[in-house]
Structure 1
Amino acid sequence: MKKFILILTMLNLVIQVSAQVTGKVVDGKQSPIPYVSCVLLSIPDSTFVSGTVTNMDGYFELPVQQGHYIIQFSYLGYKTTELECTNGDLGIVTLKEDAVALQEVVVEGELPLVKMENNRLTYNTRAILNRKIVSNAHDLIRELPSVMSLDGNSLSVVGATSTTICISGKLSQLDMNHLTDYLKSLPADEVEKVEVIYNAPPQWHVKGSVINVVMKKKKNYTLNGQVQGSWSNQHENSFDFGGTVITSTPKWDFDLMYKYADLRNISRTETDGIHTIGNILYEISSIAENFSKENRHSIYTNIGYKFNDNTSLSLSYNGLISPQKNSELYSLNTMFSDANSINKGNNNLHNLALAYTSQKGISAGVEYMNYTDAGTQDMEILNDGSFQQTFSYWRKQSIDKARAYFDMSHTLKNNWILNYGANYNYVSNYNEQENTDIQNGGENDYAKASEVNEHTAIAYIGFQKSFFNGKLSFNASLSGELYKINDYKKNALLPNAEITFVPSNKHIFQLSYNTLRTYPTYWQRQDFTSYSDEYTVYMGNPLLKPARTSNVNLTYVLKSKYIFQASYYRVNDFFIEQSYQMPNELKLLYKSFNIDYTSNLTFTSIIPVNIGKWFSSNLVLSAYNERYKSNDWYGYKYDRSKWTGMVMANNSFTISQKPKISANLMLFYRTPTIQGIWDLESNWGANVGIRYSFLKDNAILSLQCNDVFESIYPKTKVRFETQNQDVSQNAYNRNITLSFTYKFKGYKDKGHKEVDTSRFGIQ
C-alpha cells in the first residue's frame, strides 16, 4: 500500500494543469456549421497535438496544456482559417466561403457513417437522419449497423457478451423497461452522436460493452420536445401515451419525461416430456397460458446548472411505478390436475442521483435508489369439476441501494493521461415470505424473513497515450475489487487494455482485453420455493457465486463503413438455470447453479449496403462456437460445444420523398445451437413496418409488426442422460403497434452563447 501511495505521489509531481480551447464556428450569416475539422498544432514546428469536429450547433472543445498553439479550421466549400491561441474561449470563429472552389465544382458526397474517436466507434447520426424516418432515440439506435434488435425492443451490441446503455456517459440504474420508455420518448434530433464501446474502461463503471447516447449541448435559450402515443396488440390490446420537454438557458438545463402505459399480454408454453423414475417412464405433456396486465408510470426529470462550458452540476430523478401488476397462469397437464395460479402485486422504483463534472478532469456523484416488489400467489387445482385452493403465498422484497463514485483525469508530460478513481456500492435487500398450505391443513405452512447486505468497492488506476500524430493510441488500467455479501467475501484484480491503430482514414484496427465480474440477481440468491402447477417448482440458491469473464476482441473498420470482428470470451463459475426432472418424484425443478465455465469464439461481419436514395441495409453475418462445461450438475458431468451461424438483414426502403414514406424489413436466420444441456433448434424471424412523415417532418405515423410469423424463439430439446423434454414458446409472440409522434420546437434564441435493476426481483 505504501508503494502504491508513493507512486501516486511521484505521478502528481509531474502533473500539469490541463485546460480547454473552446469556441463556435459560423458562416457569413452567423449560422452554425457542424462537422468543421478543428486541428490543434504546436508552435513553432506545427506538430499535431489533438483534433475534433464541431457539433450540430457549431461548438467545439479541445483539451490543451499551458502553451501557445495554432488552431486550424477547415470545411468543404470554405477557406481554411488559422488562429493563434493559448487556452480559453475563442468566441465566434467565422469561416469565409471559398468562391473559387464553389464555382469550379459541386461535390455531392456520402457522410462517413462511423469513425474512431477516443477509442470509440462513433456513429454519425446525421447520416442516418438524412436517409431515414426516425421518430425517437430508440429507433435511431436500432438503425446502427453494430446494434441488433430481433424483437424490436431489446438493444444489444453485435458480438458482445452484454450491453449497457449510457446517456452522455452517465450510467443509469434503471431497468430495461424504464430505459426503453425513456429512449422512445427522447426526440432523435436531440442526439448528437452515438458511441459503441466494446471494452469500457473502469471510469465508465460499466461491465462489458456500451451504447453511449450523446445528447446535444445547449448554450442558448431553447424549448423542444415531443408528444407520442401508441396502440399495440400482442393477442391482447395495450396502449401508452406520454411526452418529453427539453429546455435550456445559457446556465440551466431542464428535462422532463412522463409516460403512462396500460399493458396486456398473453404467452403460451407447450412442454412434452418423458420423466424417468427408476425403471418407470412417465409421459407428461402440459400447456401453460399466462395472461398478464399492468399499469405503469414512467417518470424522468433532470435539472442541470452549467458553471462554464465544462463544469456542471446535475440532479436527476427516475421513477417507475406499477400499482397494478397482475397475472393468471392456467396449466393443463396430462398427469396432474389442471391448475390456475393467480398472481397480484405491485412494484415501485425511485432513483435520485447527483452528478458533478469539472473542466479539471473531476467527475463525482452520489446516488440512492429504493425498489420494492410485493405480491401474492393463490394456487387452485381442478378437483371433481371445480377449482379448489391449495395454497396461498405472499412475498415482499425491499431493496435500498447507495452508490458514490469519484473519477479524476490528469494530462501529464508528453501528453500522457492519468486516470484514477473509486466507487462504492452498498445494497440492503430485505425479503419476507409466507406460505399457507390450505390443501394439507397447514402441514407445510412457513414464514421466512431474510436480509442480505452487499458491499462492492472498486479502485482503479490507468494510463492513456497517443503516438505518431494520433495514429496509435494505448489505454490500460488495473482495477481492484472487494466484494462481500453476508459471510461470502471475494477480492479480485481486473486488468483492462486497449490498443487502437489508425494508419489512414480508410483503416481502423482495435484490439482490446478486459476482465469483469457479474453477479446473480438478488432474487436468485433467495431461499424460496414457488410453484406454477403441481408439477413445476422454482427454487432459489443462496450459494450462487459471482462469475468472472475474460474477454478479448479484435475489430477492423474499413472505409468508415464495414466492420469485421473476431472475439473470444470465457466465463468461469457461469450461473445458469436449466430444467431438471427429479429422479425420485414427479417434479420438474428450475434452479440456478454455477457451472465450471462457458466460452464463445465469434467471427462477425457488419456490411452496410446503399442503393441510391431508395434502399439501405445493414447486413450482419456471424459464426460462433459455444461451449458449456460442468463437473457437477445434479451429479452429472457434461462438456458440450457447437458451431452456429447467423445472418441478419435490417432493410430500409424509401417509398416516396414527397410525401415522405418509408418501409423497413428485418430478417434473420440462425442455425441450431446449444445452451447448457439444452439443444436449440434453428430459428428465424421477420419484422416489418411502414412510416409516414408529415407536417414539415414534425409528425410521424408508424405501423410496425414484430415477429410476423411467430418464429423468433427456437424450440428447445433436452436429450441428456435421463432428461427428456421438448419445449415451445412461439405462440402469441406477434406484436402489432400503431404509433404517432409529434415533435415541437419552441423558442430558440440564436444570439445567446454560453439508472442495474437487471438484478432486481421478479420482472
Structure 2
Amino acid sequence: MRQILFFLLCLCAASILPAQTYTGKVTDEKNQPLPYANVVLLSLPDSAFVTGTVSDESGAFALKTNRDNLLLRISSIGYATIYNKVDKPDLGTIQLLPDAQLLGEVVVKGDLPKVQLKGDAQVTNVTGTILEKAGTGNDLLSKLPGVSAEEGTVNVFGSGTAEIYINGRKMRNASELDQLSSDNVKRVEVVHNPGARYDATVKAVVRIYTKKAQGEGFGFNNRFLTRYYYGWNVLDQFNFNYRKGGFDLSGMLFGSKTEGEDNKTGVFETFLDNTWRQESSISTTGGSRNISTMLSLNYQFNENHSAGARYDFNRTPKDWWNINMYLQVFRDGSLYEENTSRGWQRTPATTHSFNAYYNGQAGDWNIDFNADGMWSYSKTLQDMTEEYTPIGEALQEQNVTSYNKDENTLYAAKLIISRPLWNGNLSFGGEYTYTDHTNTYINDQGILDDDHSNIRENAASAFLEYSRSFGKLQAQIGVRYEHLASDYYENEILVDEQSRTYDNVFPTFALSLPVGKTQLSLSYTGSIYRPTYYMLRSNITYANRYTYESGNPLLRPSIINRLSLDASWKWIYFNARYTHTKDAIVNLGGTYSEDEPNIMLLSYFNKYDSDKIYATLSFSPTIGIWSPQFTLMYLQQWYMVDMPDGTRKNFNNPMGSFSWRNNFRLPWELLLDVDASLDTPGDNENGHVSEVGWALNVSLRKAFFNERLSLQLQGIDLFNSRNAWGTIYGGNRLITIDQESRRYFTLTLRYKFNATKSKYKGTGAGQEQRSRM
C-alpha cells in the first residue's frame, strides 16, 4: 500500500513541471458536444506530430507541451478535418461540419460504422439510426451485438452481468432501463474489460449517454404496461422533472401488480451403496405487489461545479408463491416412497438508499466524490405440509415451517481525481465501504438448526490509471489495490475460521488502433468474483425430506484473468475473449450426513480452475427499409468435473448461440421487429445442456404526435420453444432440470410532455458490496 501511495505522490509532484496546457472544446454542426474527436498538435513548419488526445464526453480536450509554433488538427468520422494556427492557450470552441462526401447516400445505407472501438469500449451511436425507435432501454440494449437485456438485467456475452451507468450515474433500480426511451439515447458504450477505476468484481460495464435536454420548466413521462403471462400483469410509472437555471428536481413513482407461475420437473440421482433416484414435478403460482419512489435534487453552480442528493425507496409488501410438489423416490430402481408437498412462501422486502455527490473542475483537476448509504431487509416465511407413504407402510404427515430474515446496512464513499499529465490523462482515487449483513433462520419443528449469523466487512481500494495517445494508437494502463477484512459471527461470537482478510492487486491495460477502415482493440483485466452473502450463509433450508439447501461460509473468491480482442469494419464486428478462473465456484449436491446419506444437501464449493474462449461475430448492414443483424456466438471451455464413477471428465463440448434480428420501417411510421434466436447443446461449467432451445419474438410500434405518444405490442417466445433442459454433475450426484417455457404478450403505452432529463451526476459508491447483498 505504501508503494502505491508513494507512486501517486511522485506522479503529482511530476505534474508541476513547467509546460503549457492548451484547452478547447469540440462541437458538431448543431453546437452539441462532440466526444471522441481526434485532437493533435503538429509542429511548424514540418507538421511533425507533437502530442495528441481525444475529446471527452463534453467535447473538451487538454494538451500539454513545452513546444511552441504549433498547428492544431481536429478530425472525426463523418466530419471535415480542420487545421488552426495555435496562438493562445485557450483555443475556445471549435465547430466541425459534416463532410458531404462521407455523409452521402452510400454511407447512410450502412458504410458508416455502426459499432466503433473507442478507447476501452465498443461504441454504438444511436442518434440518427433505426435504434432510436427500439422502444425502452431494455429493447435497445438487446439489439446490440453480444448483449442481452431483460427486466433490467444486462448480460454481455463472454463477460457476464454488466454494471449499467446512465450519464455517469450507476443504475440502482432495474426499472430505470424500462423508463428510458431509446429515442432519448445518444450512444451506448460496452466495456468488456473494465479498467482499474472499476471495482475488480465488475465483469462488464455498459455506459448509456442520453441526448442533452432542451428547455426548462416542468415535464413528465408516463408509461403504462400490461402483459399477459400466466395471467394479467400491469405497471404504471410516472417520471417528472422541473428545471430552472442551475436547479434541477426530478422524481419517479412506480407501482406494479404481477401474477405468474413457475413449473418444472427434476430428477435427482445419488450413487452410494444404493442408487437413489428422485423424480419430482413442481408447480408454483404466485404474484407480487411493488411500489418504488425516487427523488433527486441537483444544483449546477456553473459549468465547472455541481452537487446533488438522491433518495430511493423500494417496497414489496406482497410477494407470494403457492407451492405444489409431487415426488417419487426409487431405490435401486424400485419404488421406495411417494411424497406430496403443499404450502406457501411469503417474501416481503424494503430498501432505502441515499446518494450525495460533488463534481467539480479546478484548473486542470477534475474531482468526482460520492457518498452512499443503504438499509434493507427481506423476510422469507414458509409453511409446508408433507404427506409421504413409504412402500408397505401407512400414510404419514409432517408440517415444516421456517422464518428467514436478511438485514443489510451499507456505508460507502468514493473519490476519483483526474488531470492532464505528460500529454495524456492521469486518474487516481479510492473507495471505502462498510457493510453489515445479518441472517436469522428459525425452524419451529427442530428438523434443522436455527441460525443467527452476522458478516461485517470493511473494504478499501485505491487505483491509478493513465491514458495517452501515440499518434493513432490509444493506450491505457492501470493498477488497482483492494483490501477486504471480513469478520464472521455466530450468535454474536466471532468465528476465526470463517473470518477472512484479502489483499489483491489487479493490473489492467488497453490498446486501440485504427488500421485503414478497420478498428482494433486489445485489452487485459485482472479481476475477482466475491461470493454473495447468500452463498456465504451458514443456515440450511428445507426443500423436502430428501433435499436441503445451504450456503458455505468457507467459500473463497475466484480470481479471474481476462484477455479480449475486438475488431470492427464498416458494419461487421468481431470479439474474441479468453478467461482463466482460479477456484471457480459451482453449485453442487452433496451428502447431508453420514447417518442420512440419502438426503441431498445443495451448496456452493470452490472446484478446480476453468479456462474459456468466447467469440462473437456480428453483421449489421442496412438494406432499404430492412435493418438486419445476424450474430454468431461461440463458447468453448476446459473444466474438470467429478463423475459418478469416481473419475474426472473434461467438460469441453462447445456451445453455439445464434440470433437474427430484423427491423422493418413500414408505411405510416410503423416499426416491425422480428427476432429469432437459437442455442445449441454443450457444456458450461459443471452443467451439460442437452437440447436445442430457440425462440421467435415479434414487436410492432407506432408513434403519434411527434413521439409524444407511442404504442408498442410485443409477443415473446411465440412457440413456447425456449426450453431449459440440462444436467448438473457433482461427483456422485446428478441433477436434471426441465424448466417450462411460456409465451407472453405485452402492450406498452407511453406519453411524454416536455420530458427534460435530470442533470444528476452522482455515480454512487460501494456498488460491489451492494450487489453481493
Q: How does 1:485-496 map to 2 (within 5 A)?
A: 485-486=486-487, 487=496, 488-496=499-507
State the match for 1:264 in structure 2.
Answer: 259
The 3-state SS of whatever aligns with 2:138 is helix
TM alignment of 1:347-746, pairs within 5 A: 347-359=349-361, 360-382=365-387, 390-413=399-422, 415-437=423-445, 444=447, 446-467=449-470, 469=471, 471-486=472-487, 487=496, 488-504=499-515, 506-559=517-570, 561-580=571-590, 584-612=596-624, 614-629=625-640, 638-654=648-664, 656-676=666-686, 678-717=688-727, 722-731=732-741, 733-745=742-754
Q: Distance in 1 between matches of 2:36 and 2:439?
A: 56
Matched to 2:620, the amino acid is: P
Q: Which residue does 1:10 correspond to in 2?
A: 10
Q: Does 1:295 align with 2:289?
A: yes
- What's the offset of the Cα at 1:693? 2.1
Is contact 2:651–2:686 with CA below 8 Å preserved after alignment? no
Distance (Å, rounded) in 1 between the aligned partners of 2:207 and 2:350:
26
1:312 equivalent among 293, 306, 311? 306
Specify the SS of the correspondent of 1:658: helix
Summarize the Cα distance change of 1:88–1:400 in structure 2 as closer, same or farther, 3 Å threshold: farther
CA distance in 1, matches of 2:104, 2:170: 47
Letter in 1 for 2:435: V
Q: How big is the shift at 1:65? A: 4.1
Q: Deviation of residue 309 (structure 1)?
A: 2.5
Partner Cα distance (2:340, 2:453) in 1: 33
Counterpart contact for 2:199–2:768, Cα < 8 Å: no
Contact 2:641 2:651 in 1 (8 A): no
Q: Deviations over 1:603-661 (max 9, x none)?
A: 2212213221x222222212221233368x99966342223242422423325232423
Paired residue secondary structure (1:144) = coil
Work out the CA distance in 2 between the residues paired with 1:131 and 1:264.
Answer: 31
Structure 1: distance between partners of 2:119 and 2:245:
27
AA matched with 2:746: T
Deviation at 1:51, TM superposition (A): 6.1
**In 2, Cα distance between equivalents of 1:452 and 1:184:** 34
Cα distance change, pair 635–447 in 1 and its aligned pair in 2 (3 A): farther
Deviations 1:708-730 (A, max 9, x none): 23332431135776435532012
Seen in structure 2, the aligned counterparts of structure 1 residues 197 and 86 have a Cα distance that, compared at 3 Å, is farther
Q: Is the 8 A contact 1:326 1:345 kept in 2?
A: yes
Structure 1 residues not aligned, in runs of 5+ = 438-442, 749-754
* Distance across 1 between alignment mates of 2:462 and 2:116: 31
Deviation of residue 423 (structure 1)?
0.9
Deviates more, 1:344-353 or 1:457-466: 457-466
- Retained in 2: the 8 A contact 1:18–1:411? no
What do the CA deviations read for 1:528-581 (whole angstroms, capped 9, x no partner)? 12123333211121111111111111111223x322122111211221113447
Give the match for residue 752 of structure 1: none
Q: Cα distance 1:218–1:53, how it changes in 2: closer, same or farther (>3 A)?
A: farther
Q: 2:278 aligns with which of 257, 274, 284?
A: 284
Residues 381 and 358 from structure 1, CA distance in 2 versus in 1: closer, same or farther, beyond 3 angstroms? Answer: same
Assess, with a 3 A threshold, how the Cα gap between structure 1 residues 198 and 369 changes in structure 2: closer, same or farther: same
Tell whether the 8 Å contact from 1:380 to 1:387 is kept in structure 2 after alignment. no
Q: 1:580 and 1:461 mapped to 2: Cα distance?
A: 44
CA contact (8 A) 1:436 1:446 kept: no
AA aligned opposite 2:344: I
Instruction: Determine helix, strand or coil for the equivalent of 1:159.
Output: coil
State the secondary structure of the residue aligned to 2:740.
Answer: coil
Q: Name the CA distance, whole Å, in 1 between partners of 2:223 and 2:32.
A: 30
> What letter corresponds to residue 212 of structure 1 in structure 2?
R
Residues 60 and 724 of structure 1: CA distance in aligned 2, closer, same or farther (over 3 Å): closer
Q: Is residue 331 of structure 1 aligned with residue 325 of structure 2? A: yes
The TM-score normalised by the length of structure 1 is 0.85
Q: Distance in 1 between matches of 2:341 and 2:98?
A: 77
Q: Secondary structure at the match of 1:362?
A: strand
Measured at CA, do residues 495 and 526 of structure 1 come closer, stay the same or move farther in structure 2, by a change above 3 Å? closer
> Aligned equivalents of 2:754 and 2:396: distance in 1?
58
Q: Once the two structures are superposed, what CA deviation does each residue of 1:125-150 show, in whole Å capped at 9, x if it has no partner? A: 1143x46623332222222224234x
**Residues 175-228 of structure 1, C-alpha deviations (whole Å, 9 max, x = no match):** xxx32x111112333322211111111223362211111234458636554211
Kept after mapping to 2: 8 A contact 1:368/1:401: yes
C-alpha separation between the residues in 1 aligned to 2:215 and 2:44? 36
Q: CA deviation at 1:153?
A: 5.8
Contact residue 627 and residue 639 of structure 1 kept, 8 A: no
Q: How much has 1:492 moved relative to structure 2?
A: 3.6
Partner of 1:160 in structure 2?
A: 159
Q: Displacement of 1:399 after TM fit?
A: 0.4
Q: 1:440 aligns to what?
A: none
SS in 2 for 1:586: coil
Aligned to 1:751: none
Find the aligned partners of 1:747 and 1:408 in 2 and give their Cα distance. Answer: 29
- Aligned counterparts of 1:666 and 1:247: Cα–Cα separation in 2: 42
User: How many positions carry a matched residue from both structures?
Assistant: 728
1:107 Cα deviation from its structure 2 partner: 7.6
TM-superposed CA distance for 1:685, in Å, is: 2.3
Q: CA deviation at 1:591?
A: 0.9
1:244 paired to 2:254:
no
- Structure 1 position 501, deviation (Å): 3.5
SS in structure 1 of the partner of residue 668 of structure 2: coil
Amino acid at match of 1:302: S
Cα separation, partners in 2 of 1:108 and 1:617, compared to 1, 3 Å: closer
After superposing the two structures, state which structure 1 stretch, 739-748 or 30-39, moved more: 30-39
Change (3 A) 1:88 1:412: same
User: How has the CA–CA distance of structure 1 residues 535 and 2 changed in structure 2, closer, same or farther, with 3 Å as cutoff?
Assistant: closer
Instruction: Check conservation: 1:494, 1:514, Cα contact below 8 A.
Output: no
2:202 is aligned with 1:197 = no
Partners of 2:645 and 2:614 lie apart in 1 by: 31
Q: Are the equivalent residues in 2 in contact too, given 1:629–1:639 (CA < 8 A)? A: yes
Question: Per the alignment, in what secondary structure is the counterpart of residue 15 of structure 2?
Answer: coil
1:116 aligns with 2:146: no
Query: Compared with structure 1, are the counterparts of its residues 699 and 609 closer, same or farther at alpha carbon in structure 2 (3 Å cutoff)?
Result: same
SS of structure 1 residue aligned to 2:653: strand
Q: Are the counterparts in 2 of residues 18 and 410 from structure 1 also a CA contact under 8 Å?
A: no
Q: SS state of the match for residue 235, structure 1? A: coil
Percent identity between matched residues is: 18
Partners of 2:767 and 2:35 in 1: CA distance: 37
C-alpha RMSD over aligned residues: 3.7
